[in-house]
Structure 1
Amino acid sequence: MRAGLYALKPWYADRLAGTRRLLAARGAAPDALTAAGVGFGALAGVALATVPAPLVATPLVAALLALRLAAANLDGALARDTGRSTRFGAVVNELGDRAAELAALAGCFALAPSWLVLLAMLAASAPSWVALAGAAAGAPRINGGPVGKTERCLLLVVLAALPAYAGPLLAVLIAGSVLTALARLRALHRNLAGATGVTGSS
């Protein structure tokens, strides 16, 4: 399942290959890139909340979220390239990805009702929950979707440009995230159909 902008990930990874080689040569730690991604997400949230001029906020938020996505792409790739991939590192990677997105969305508390922002945070996490649940059941990790991580970042850039429409834009993010979670769930059902002997606990 590679619907949406996630289909561009291989192309994007190629564009970052030089940066990845430079980081590997300098001994950069993959976890440091994960932390940097969280930091960039948090700074994007701060910009959303505190920069009132859309002409300034929009390129600033776009640049910070682009750096957040680059860090999310580089940390796992760097770990694989340098032989430092670990199962716990994968956990840190996932937690960092969620924290970066929630930190960026937190900036919307200054622009929209709190209940709507909280609902957006919940909905934005749902596609990843579905993908991780599927992986725990033995299915390949499902990414992408109509409103995946990259599309949600793009919506936040639009929100920075049009803060007066923060409510409707967050509603679009919520609806799109739920639709993405359902699409992934459907794909997982097809993938796991016929599988037997899979059990789990909560």
Structure 2
Amino acid sequence: MRGLYALKPWYTRQLDGVVRWAVRRDVSPDVFTWSGVAAAAAAGVAIALGWWPAVLVLLAARLAGANLDGAVARARAVERPWGFVLNEVGDRASDLLMFAGLAVLLSREQGTAGLVLVLVAAVAATLPTVASLAGAGAGAPRLNGGPFGKTERCLAVVLLVAAPSLTPILLPVVIGLSLVTATTRLRELRRLLA
């Protein structure tokens, strides 16, 4: 199961003009990594303030940055191990900024119960990536996608900002599907590394 990650090739094609521009101008892929983090930071503020239309645009920009760094690196033939590290650090920082904004919003809207649920969801959401990076460290390919990856997390946050009353339903779904995604990736890694 690839989830919304299956849309990545389509999204990459939509950003092709930016990739061509970056290649012509010799723009470093790192610019897009950090642009994605900056968009996530701005999204964190918009999330905390409950401005869901801004959250939608800013998280789309966050995903664009995460997509463009690799696309530009491949197009310019400048892929490097340090770029992989920056990409992963940028993705984790972006997730933390997004969840921090959600923690502010839901603790204000729902008190301690909302805050605790967000913190549990933030931890659960990191587990698929932990599994993938551990497998990559052991020599397996870096696994992406699954029933609940980065794109699904962003969509869930937009929905939570637009309708905080969905928290008792949606955050347990985030937690459960994150655990399913981590388990799915671990099973695949076990198969690949056997």
TM-score, structure 2 normalization: 0.90
Report the RMSD for the aligned CA atoms in angstroms: 1.4
Give the counterpart letter for 1:22 in structure 2.
W
Give the unaligned 5+ runs of structure 2.
Answer: 108-113
> SS of the counterpart of 1:159?
helix
CA distance in 2 between counterparts of 1:44 and 1:172 reads 22
Moved more, 91-100 or 36-45: 36-45
TM-score, structure 1 normalization: 0.87
What aligned pairs does 1:95-174 form with structure 2 within 5 A after superposition?
95-110=89-104, 111-112=106-107, 113-174=114-175
> SS of the counterpart of 2:23?
helix
Give the counterpart letter for 2:65 in structure 1.
A
2:67 is equivalent to residue 61 of structure 1: no
2:14 is equivalent to residue 15 of structure 1: yes
Query: Which of 64, 70, 73 is the equivalent residue of 2:64?
Result: 70
* Correspondence for 1:30: 29
CA distance in 2 between counterparts of 1:63 and 1:46 reads 13
Moved more, 28-37 or 87-96: 28-37
Shift in Å at residue 94 of structure 1?
0.5
Give the fraction of aligned pairs with identical amino acids, expressed as a percent: 52
Q: Flag the structure with higher helix content.
A: 2
Q: Which runs of 4+ in 1 moved over 4 A?
A: none
CA distance in 2 between counterparts of 1:167 and 1:23 reads 43
Give the unaligned 5+ runs of structure 1.
Answer: 52-56, 194-202
What aligned pairs does 1:87-102 form with structure 2 within 5 A after superposition?
87-102=81-96
Number of corresponding residues? 187
> SS of the counterpart of 1:27?
coil
CA distance in 2 between counterparts of 1:101 and 1:152 reads 9
CA distance in 2 between counterparts of 1:171 and 1:41 reads 23
